[in-house]
Amino acid sequence: MSSYKLLIDGQLVDGAATLDVINPAEGKVLATAPRADLAQLNQAVAAAKKAFPAWAALAPEEREAKLNQLADAIEAKADAFARLLTQEQGKPLAEAQGEVMGAVFGLRAFGAMRAETKELQRTDTARVIEVRKPLGVVAGIVPWNFPVLLMIMKVGPGLALGNTMVLKPAPTTPLTTLLFGELAAGILPPGVLNIIVDDNDLGSALTAHPDIAKVSFTGSTATGKKVMQSVASDLKRLTLELGGNDAAIVLDDVDIKQVAPAIYASAMSNSGQICLATKRVYAHSSHYDELCDELAILAKASVVGDGTEQGVTMGPLQNKMQYEKVKGFLLDAKAEGTVIAGGEAREGDGYFIQPTIVRDIADSARLVREEQFGPVLPVLKYDDVADAIRRANDSEYGLGGTVWTSNIERGIEVANQVDSGTIWVNKFLDLPFDVPFRGAKQSGMGGENGEEAINGYTQAKIINVAL
């Protein structure tokens, strides 16, 4: 086993304790990670606070150069990152390689971000300009489904815009983050980036810390609400990217054989463990049976196994807690609908669920109402598109969604009526780093990427001058 270290004030250090990290394909210990205590958390925040003035004072081009160095360092170790990501997270190696290279591109894109001064008004008597300044110390809390990419989507804009950071990965997937910390220790000035690992016991101390200026959290809606309560006492800035129950609306004008593979992939990539994955499908009655059949064929053709093995197209669920939760959804699916593919957990070691397609299920079923975050997909029938839109919107969530059609203008019209922060037409999970995405309703607040990231990691100041 490799020796992993926390990153505090530029030093790679042992934790006050240790934490076993499980390989989800085996259900066995992969490695031992260092685990921080409250004193080390406080040291990390203090180091970030001390490093902030000098980092913020650098020219943006100097910070960009450092982020580009980090991107180069990740790219040079891309194979090691991808293999470690598969071992700790479970996704097939090809998906892990895509995530790692996405992180490389993301660092470079975020490094090029600039918080430009804007002139808002100029008259004969006044000039009004808006400037943006970094906030200070940012806490970044990263989930286990995309531990590398989502880490970079916080670190990238946070550091590029002049903030310093304390990063906390999920306790079930800390290893790739710690490997990143090894690279950062040799590139960034001490204290600019600090990485601690906990066992879900330091989150509230981090988010409530008086020297934290902003919290960027990606995770479940339930935990996001707790984070929001934690920051309320001193009104910290907050970005929440939370859960979703994204609907796919399949219009009556599509070629089912053409769109079914994309719909399947939108639901089953990363074993369905994507906040923006398709969680429920609404198909027009004229092709409902055909779509169900095609999705079932695709599910039965998927190769479930250890993501490091060649030919595997779907890995395990990431952790035992999620595995048990999804097994509960399988029971609900059998009770409330008709399972036409999958429906079982795989026997043996590891947290494997066969990709499952469920038809003839009621809107009131738990599998339809809740976010399953696993490879279990309900397919529902509709006759009138207005009814499909209404049912898609009947959710506390509003993160993403898709519309599938052969008529682009019709697709845009339907998409405009879906209550979500992002909606794709004839595509899915397309998230350019320069395009904002954000959640509606209980899927979050604030946003990631593009101008949302610039605004979220800076404080705007109006300078109003008499001429």
pLDDT surpassing 80 at residue 1: no
Tell me the pLDDT tens digit for each residue of 53-86. 999 999 999 999 999 999 999 999 999 999 999 9
* First-last CA distance in the chain: 67
Of 266, 260, 278, 308, nearest to 96 by C-alpha is 308
For domain 246-432, give the CATH number: 3.40.309.10
β-pair partners for 194:
166
Residues 6+ apart with CB under 8 A from 376: 272, 326, 329, 330, 333, 342, 353, 355, 356, 358, 367
User: Which residue out of 95, 241, 371, 448 is catalytically annotated?
Assistant: 241
Q: Average of pLDDT values for 39-62?
A: 98
Reduced to 3 states, what is the DSSP secondary structure of residue 168?
Answer: strand
pLDDT surpassing 70 at residue 37: yes
Q: Is 275 a catalytic residue?
A: yes
Q: Which residue has the tokens 């990153």?
A: 7
Superfamily of domain 6-242+443-466 in CATH is Aldehyde Dehydrogenase; Chain A, domain 1 (3.40.605.10)
Q: Do domains 6-242+443-466 and 246-432 have the same CATH topology?
A: no
Of 341, 266, 328, 238, nearest to 299 by C-alpha is 341
Tell me the pLDDT tens digit for each residue of 144-165. 999 999 999 999 999 999 999 9
Tell me the pLDDT tens digit for each residue of 307-332. 999 999 999 999 999 999 999 999 99
- Domain spans in the chain, listed from the N-terminal domain onward: 6-242+443-466, 246-432
Q: Are strands 214-218 and 137-141 parallel, antiparallel or unpaired?
A: parallel
Q: What is the distance between the alpha carbons of residues 288 and 388, in angstroms, rounded to a whole number?
A: 13
Q: Is 292 a catalytic residue?
A: no
User: Which residue out of 88, 99, 275, 371 is catalytically annotated?
Assistant: 275
